[in-house]
Structure 1
Amino acid sequence: MIRTRTTFIIGAGAASELAMPANDELLLKIGQSLEFSRLGTPTQSRDTAMLAHYFTSLATARGQDQAAAFKAAERLRLAARLARSVDAVLDQHDADPLVVACGKLTLIHFLCQGEAKSILRLAPRVTGDLPIQGTESWLYQFGQLVTNGVPLSRVDSCLDAVSVISFCYDRSVEHFMPHALMMAFGMPFEEAQQLVSERLRIVHPYGTLGRLPWQSGTGPALEWGVEVPGDMQALVPGIRTGAQTLADTGLVAAMQAVVADSQRLVMLGFGYHPLNLEMLAAQPLPAAVEVLATTYGLNDSAVAAVRRILGRRFGERDGDGLVLANVRANDLMRDYALLLES
């Protein structure tokens, strides 16, 4: 059980442990699939044909023609070759609503594929089991931490000290946790879903693919792992650009309040982009707040830069107040499990 007020900040590196497409992979897919000059040739891909159809329908719905849609595709394709992130591509074109909408539609297309092909299935193969392949993922470790040592009589409190800020668009935490609660406590699945819906504080700064069918809300519902949704355009408003997120002062204030109320921050697979850090904290945090963060794959110079960046944004920390671990998200959750439960 997590006893200290802890906020888990999830980035794309953590999502890749679930076999979701990483940022570089998404940029590559965008660059390849939006080359509409291949339409009608032997080199045309299924993704290219589908996206051309989506773009044309989107443009038509907005009173524009196919030529405008294809021009937007070429703009996105070229920008993706230079950009560091998909979010940057969208923000760079905020003056052209059609380009932004087409970019979001492309992102939705590949994220739906990502959920469908991830190691997190819609349902477990065996009733009562988990719908995830293996145990080598941060999400499995998260489920263990939340449920370990909690008596059934106190199951309502197992999420009291937990908050999640996910910079990913998928709904993996929301989908997984009811299964984890059902497995750990033997509770009815619908009751586990209700508990997660009511008690798990989770924020998606950049939006999501839609709410899961059992989640409350007014936006479009989409079941986990649906590779080709029936209405792609309905999901577009659920994706936000960085500029749109910053403009939503209520959302930013809510995120910053969650972080400010935390006694421990756990940053998993996070990219440390300045814009994302700006969303998390408006001023340095108290020195007593612990920060555990992964720096997997970064060289010494990059790790030193991350240390300085976090110091400037969250405030300097001495000794064990800041832990930068060059490990995967799963490994940090496993190796620091005792601390995270303390």
Structure 2
Amino acid sequence: MFRKRTTVVVGAGASSDFGLPLGTALKEEIGKSLNISFRDGQVRTGDPVLIDCIRLVAFEKYGHRNIKEFLGDVRNLSNAMPLAISIDHYLHAHEKNEQIKICGKLAIARSILLAERKSSIWSKEYDQPSLSNGEDETWLEAFFRALNEDVTLDNVDQIFSNVAIISFNYDRCIKHFLKHAIKSYYSIGDKKAEDITRKLEVIHPYGSVGELPWEAEGGVPFGLSDEPKKLLAIARSIKTFSESVDDVEKTERIQSLLSKSKQVLFLGFGFHKQNMDLLVAPNPRSCDSVYASAIGLSESNIARKQARLVGSLKREYHTLDQNFINAKCRDIFNEYWDSLLAS
């Protein structure tokens, strides 16, 4: 169990542990799925499910299900993907074009839900995740071991005390995994495991592909991907950079969590300016230590990221202990186990 107030900031590199696509792979998938063309009235290329979703939008906007008014925007989006830093950056650049934004968000929702189903923690049997060991282990197994240290069945309700998560990803892998991990490790029922997992605060600055069925009535099952009406509702909950900044309540909650944290973990996080802007608050921070996975980064890149962190998390006249490790996300827990779990 974490004994200090801890915030875990999660980026795309963390979800890649489970097989979800990084930015480059995601935009390639989106470019392919929105490369829509027809021949003799039949779909020739593009994702038929997304086409049905766009038909719903066309009916709402124009009163018919013909997507001809959308094809120009959709093809522009598809063709531009090789030039984009990410799909999020592209949608930000076209923030005033509502058709591009909804089509892009539909493609994100569809791709992420498909990726959940293809992930290493999705299992058709009993809708529970597969667990990994050794080289195939993800950071979630290591994280759960840190959570359950000194936690017995008698006080399992407190397993998420002092921990919160800020996930810049759209997927629900974290809560899906942890609910089943608690159920398995403590040999308890679904209802009890769900009640415990609800206590974990997970904030998605850019939204997610929906709450899980046990989190809310009408929730979206893990890996569900082919219901056009549900996909459209999910897409409308996804936010671009500028839309997220405008969500004052969520931004203030993120900054409040960080202001009260004694240690912050960055897992698979790219430290992009738009994301870092959400983590900056005017009030001094109480953070003492930062731990970050930095696999594949050069020393100069790490130095720049450390400088950004000082501006976001450093308390006035206070030394911030920064620990960047050139290793996988799971190795943060193995390398710094004692420090992370100390009082």
Fold agreement, TM-score > 0.5: yes
CA RMSD of aligned residues (A): 2.6
**1:248: which partner in 2?**
247
**2:207: which partner in 1?**
207
| Unaligned runs of at least 5 residues, structure 1 | none
Q: Distance in 2 between matches of 1:302 and 1:41?
A: 51
Q: Distance in 2 between matches of 1:203 and 1:286?
A: 19
**1:227: which partner in 2?**
225
Residue 51 of structure 1 aligns with an amino acid whose one-letter code is L
**1:8: which partner in 2?**
8
Answer yes or no: is the 8 Å Cα contact 1:55–1:70 preserved in 2: no
Seen in structure 2, the aligned counterparts of structure 1 residues 285 and 19 have a Cα distance that, compared at 3 Å, is farther
Seen in structure 2, the aligned counterparts of structure 1 residues 124 and 336 have a Cα distance that, compared at 3 Å, is farther
Seen in structure 2, the aligned counterparts of structure 1 residues 123 and 151 have a Cα distance that, compared at 3 Å, is farther
**1:192: which partner in 2?**
193
**2:111: which partner in 1?**
110
Residue 330 of structure 2 aligns with an amino acid whose one-letter code is N
Corresponding residue SS for 1:238 = coil
Answer yes or no: is the 8 Å Cα contact 1:19–1:114 preserved in 2: yes
Seen in structure 2, the aligned counterparts of structure 1 residues 43 and 70 have a Cα distance that, compared at 3 Å, is closer
Residue 227 of structure 2 aligns with an amino acid whose one-letter code is P
Residue 180 of structure 1 aligns with an amino acid whose one-letter code is A
| Bigger shift: residues 58-67 or 272-281 | 58-67
Residue 123 (structure 1) shift: 6.0
Q: Distance in 1 between matches of 2:261 and 2:299?
A: 28
Q: Is 2:272 aligned against 1:273? A: yes
TM-score of the aligned structures, taking structure 1 as reference length: 0.90
Corresponding residue SS for 2:82 = helix
Corresponding residue SS for 1:62 = helix
**2:145: which partner in 1?**
144
The percent identity for this pair of structures is 27
Residue 229 (structure 1) shift: 3.0
**2:171: which partner in 1?**
170
Q: Distance in 2 between matches of 1:39 and 1:265?
A: 53
Q: Distance in 2 between matches of 1:310 and 1:282?
A: 12
Q: Distance in 1 between matches of 2:58 and 2:100?
A: 10
Alpha-carbon displacement from aligned partner over 1:69-104 (angstroms, at most 9, x marks no partner): 111212212332222122111111111111100000
Residue 244 (structure 1) shift: 1.0
Residue 44 (structure 1) shift: 4.6
Residue 335 (structure 1) shift: 2.2
Q: Distance in 1 between matches of 2:131 and 2:197?
A: 22
Q: Distance in 2 between matches of 1:229 and 1:285?
A: 46
Q: Report how many aligned residue pairs link the two structures.
A: 335
Residue 21 of structure 2 aligns with an amino acid whose one-letter code is P
Answer yes or no: is the 8 Å Cα contact 2:49–2:228 preserved in 1: no
Seen in structure 2, the aligned counterparts of structure 1 residues 120 and 285 have a Cα distance that, compared at 3 Å, is farther
Q: Distance in 2 between matches of 1:177 and 1:340?
A: 19
| Bigger shift: residues 205-214 or 179-188 | 179-188
Residue 325 (structure 1) shift: 1.1
Answer yes or no: is the 8 Å Cα contact 1:93–1:99 preserved in 2: yes
| Bigger shift: residues 24-33 or 318-327 | 318-327
Corresponding residue SS for 2:185 = helix
Runs of 4+ in 1 over 3 A off after TM superposition: 37-45, 47-50, 122-125, 283-288, 316-320
Residue 255 (structure 1) shift: 0.6
Alpha-carbon displacement from aligned partner over 1:17-59 (angstroms, at most 9, x marks no partner): 01011111011122233222476799955x5343333323322
Residue 308 (structure 1) shift: 1.9
Seen in structure 2, the aligned counterparts of structure 1 residues 39 and 190 have a Cα distance that, compared at 3 Å, is farther
Q: Distance in 1 between matches of 2:28 and 2:73?
A: 17
Answer yes or no: is the 8 Å Cα contact 2:287–2:314 preserved in 1: no
Residue 164 of structure 1 aligns with an amino acid whose one-letter code is I
TM-score of the aligned structures, taking structure 2 as reference length: 0.89
Seen in structure 2, the aligned counterparts of structure 1 residues 155 and 309 have a Cα distance that, compared at 3 Å, is same
Q: Is 2:130 aligned against 1:132? A: yes
Answer yes or no: is the 8 Å Cα contact 1:124–1:132 preserved in 2: no
| Unaligned runs of at least 5 residues, structure 2 | none
Q: Distance in 2 between matches of 1:116 and 1:122?
A: 8
Alpha-carbon displacement from aligned partner over 1:170-221 (angstroms, at most 9, x marks no partner): 1111111121112222222211101111x1111011111111111137xx51
